[in-house]
Amino acid sequence: MNRQYRVAGLIEMVLLVSTLCEPVLADPMPIGQAIGTVADRLETAQLKSGVNAGIWPKEASFTGSIAAGMVSAFRASCEPAYKNSAELAGEYIIWSAQGNFYGDEAFALTLLSEISDDPNNNIWRSAVSNFYADVKDIAGTADYMTQFEGVEPSTAVFYLAHHVVAAYYVDATDKQIWRDNLLSLLSQVNDISSNFPVMSLGVATWALAGTGPLDQTLVNCCNPAEDGYWNDVKLADLPSLLAGHQVADGEPYAGSFYWRFDHTSGGSPSAASGHTEDAVFATLGLLAAKKSDPQLDLDQAIISAGKALLDSVSQDGRVWEHMSQTGMLLYAYAGEMLEVLDGLIIEGDLNLDGSVDFVDFAIIAGDWGATVNGGEICRNSADIDRSGTVDFADLKVLSDNWLWNLGD
């Protein structure tokens, strides 16, 4: 899915474009290996010195999305190089933005705050907190929101969704105003006026589920839509709507998502489904909804999406516009892929192979009774509940997720 709309200057960006023939895809890697391979490629490609230190070549405007991915890779593995890479990108964001952040930039800084020695007191959190305070006190939050008016709706939803998550992380005074405006923008998304309707639904569900209840609040409270899509739709309906746009088994790119609400695109199955960003953000939406309400029946949809996403990652860590490994090849897609792969790791999968089984039990048994750093945040730590000790509480988490399997 081409995201050149995010910055007009990206028209000049001509990276590697696929050939007309679809490649023969290798067997998917285990989730931990996929994260490491993608993150290693990003870490190597990042500019480490000079005025643009911290960015990825020709993708400076996507630094937020890529930095968030590198934080996610660090959380999965505790590889110091990934944290260093994310921090270098964060320093560039703070320097270049001069206090006025894109939504994905603000979100990346909140993730850096989470992995800091003191998540409640660090430069990343301060930068984000100051931004939302300045918006309120200087520009006025309501007036600031007018910049999203007239913007292509899915673009606006993408950025505002990330702003909402960041505003809630720092407990911004006007966080509810940001959330309410996200609902208003989401209600404008449709197959006619929006570039990527299903992606918009996914990223909005991710933000809304992570910042409040998916309750009976209407998405479109006041202005009935001509196409009727959002009429009478409540927040509680978003997970099922999102899951309803997943490609079924037996169809091209099964487990991925359609890009339009009506599931058509000129009669071409490859154009109608299988775009990487649709799958990434739809899956993040399902994951956030499941975390918000564990009773939701979304496990199979999440597993199917996870398999499709892993299938789309090349053996050397490249991630394309389309899950068939065709289209534009951007570092931004790789960063977003890291975010969702980190989210797909189930608690208890300590060797990051996509399943919770006797191998993971053996890891816990080997570390039984050990005292570890209570601030450890890595997915592969046997101290699953982050209590500081490997004990029965960690064993219970493992047993609760026993035999979860993201693989074949």
Report pLDDT digits (tens) over 9-52: 332 333 333 333 344 456 789 999 999 999 999 999 999 999 99
Confidence check: pLDDT of 375 > 60: no
What is the rounded distance in angstroms from the CA atom of residue 365 to the CA atom of residue 358?
10
Q: Which of 55-69, 116-130, 264-278 has the weakest average pLDDT?
A: 264-278
Rounded to 10 degrees, the C-alpha dihedral 405/204/338/30 comes to 10
User: Using CA atoms, how far apart are residues 165 and 178, in angstroms rounded to an integer?
Assistant: 9
Q: What's residue 24's pLDDT?
A: 45
Let me know if residue 103 belongs to a domain.
Answer: yes
Residue pair 15/330 in contact (Cβ under 8 Å)? The answer is: yes
Closest Cα partner for 195 from 2, 408, 399, 400?
2
Distance (Å, whole) CA 49 – CA 46: 9
pLDDT for 109 equals: 98
Residue whose structure tokens are 């409040």: 212
Location of structure tokens 């993971």: 360
Question: What three-state secondary structure class fits 273?
Answer: strand
What pLDDT, on the 0 to 100 scale, is given for residue 189? 94
Q: What is the pTM of this model?
A: 0.91
CATH number for the domain including 375? 1.10.1330.10
Which structural domain, as residue segments, surrounds residue 231?
151-312
Same domain for 206 and 274: yes
* 204 domain-assigned: yes
Q: Find the angle CA(187)-CA(192)-CA(197) to the nearest 5 degrees.
A: 55
Structure tokens at 376: 């450890």
- Tell whether 12 is covered by a domain: no
2 lies in some domain: no
pLDDT of 21: 39
Q: Check residue 299 and give its pLDDT.
A: 94
Q: Is residue 268 part of a domain?
A: yes
Q: Which two tokens stand for residue 60?
A: 């400076």
Identify whether residues 327 and 264 lie together within a single domain: no
Whether 199 and 134 map to the same domain: the answer is: no
Residues, the chain: 408
Kindly state whether residues 170 and 306 are assigned to the same domain: yes
CA distance 328 to 11: 12
User: Angle at the Cα of 249 (from 256 to 408), degrees rounded to 5?
Assistant: 85
- What's the whole-number average pLDDT of the chain? 89
pLDDT in tens, 279-309: 999 999 999 999 999 999 999 999 999 999 9
182 and 273 housed in the same domain: yes
Count of alpha carbons within 13 angstroms of residue 376, beta-carbon side: 21
Number of structural domains the chain divides into: 3
181 and 155 within one domain? yes
Residue 356 near residue 348, CB atoms below 8 Å? yes
**What is the CB neighbour count within 10 angstroms for residue 358?**
10
How far is residue 110's CA from residue 257's CA, in Å, rounded to a whole number?
28
Same domain, 42 and 130: yes
- Do 101 and 157 touch, CB atoms closer than 8 A? no
pLDDT score recorded for residue 25: 53
- 390-395 contacts at long range (C-beta below 8 A, 24 or more positions apart): 390/364, 394/364, 395/364
CB 320 within 8 A of CB 308: no
Task: Measure the CA–CA gap between 300 and 82, rounded to whole angstroms.
Answer: 31
